[in-house]
Amino acid sequence: MNNKKIKNIQSYLLAVLGCAALILADQFTKHLAVLHLKNQEPFIIWKGVFKLEYLENRGAAFGIMQNRQVLFSLGAILIVCLIGYFYGRMPHTPRFYLLRICSVMVCAGAVGNLIDRVRQNYVVDFFYFELIDFPIFNVADCYVVVSCILFGFAILFYYKEEELSCFTHKKE
């Protein structure tokens, strides 16, 4: 096996392990939320600003589209498949580490919430920014938001247009 194939395999293995670690962290925090926050008063971290408050979210972001678990589950599976496809098209070079990390984080977020939807028919949320009355969210949501911000930054300011042609042209 040549050196390039070994590097590709290492890249995929690292992505799978990273994704698994992030999913485990998400599921662990949700488990802690169930143990310590469910049926309890919110845990105030900074009065009037931030607290931990248990919520069973049967909708999507901001609680929209309640009780559409099949749709959300199919969407998460589609996202993971698309990211897997584009991950395979990315050059296996250090220059693309940022996009690879973003890909892993989006997958971990999608799978973390998918596990909840399949297992419980709802997603456990528990972070609440009371100061701005931001909807309650969880660690998986953080992965998706942070990775999308990084992705937007990378596309706008880091990568050149020709570098991103790997996503639009046939792979050789």
**Pick from 124, 133, 139, 137: nearest CA to 36:** 124
Bridge partners, residue 55, by sequence: 125
Question: Is 26 a residue of the active site?
Answer: no
Q: How far apart (Å, rounded) are the C-alpha atoms in residues 129 and 77? A: 29
Catalytic, out of 26, 116, 133, 141: 141
Catalytic, out of 26, 116, 125, 133: 125
* Residue with the two structure tokens 């662990």: 28
Q: 130, 50 in Cβ contact below 8 A?
A: yes
Considering just the CA atoms, what is the radius of gyration of the chain in Å? 18
Question: Is 133 a residue of the active site?
Answer: no
Q: How far apart (Å, rounded) are the C-alpha atoms in residues 81 and 85? A: 6
Which residue numbers are catalytic?
A: 125, 141
